[in-house]
Amino acid sequence: MNVRTLLVAGIIGTATVMGGCTATRTQQSAGEYTSDAAITAKVKAALVAAKDVSAVDVNVETFRRTVQLSGFVNSQAEASRAVEVARGVEGVQSVRNDLRVKNSPR
């Protein structure tokens, strides 16, 4: 097995375990939290599978089907591709892009 396959399997496994948790976020039901956790796992897996995106430094959070991407990428093209990949995941309503290009002036 290659590293990418193991990483995807780990992400999906973690989401499955987290889906059973009863913890909730503010103003979010347990069902919404479970759905958001599943979306987060799917987006992370899709980013890992995308060969033109370095998913290592990209953080993914989901709240009410809105995905927030943060962290660092190597280029603006990679950031755009990460957003495109996230938007293509089933269940994603919108994507908020807070990615930063490495070594880029703010």
Beta-strand runs (E) in the chain: 58-63, 66-73, 94-101
**106, part of any domain:** no
The pLDDT tens digits along the chain (106 residues) read 677 776 777 777 776 666 555 454 456 676 666 799 999 999 999 999 999 998 899 999 999 999 999 999 999 999 999 999 999 999 999 999 999 999 866 5
Whether pTM > 0.85 for this model: the answer is no
* Domain of 39, in residue numbers: 3-101
**57, part of any domain:** yes
**11, part of any domain:** yes
Tell me how many domains the chain contains: 1
**35, part of any domain:** yes
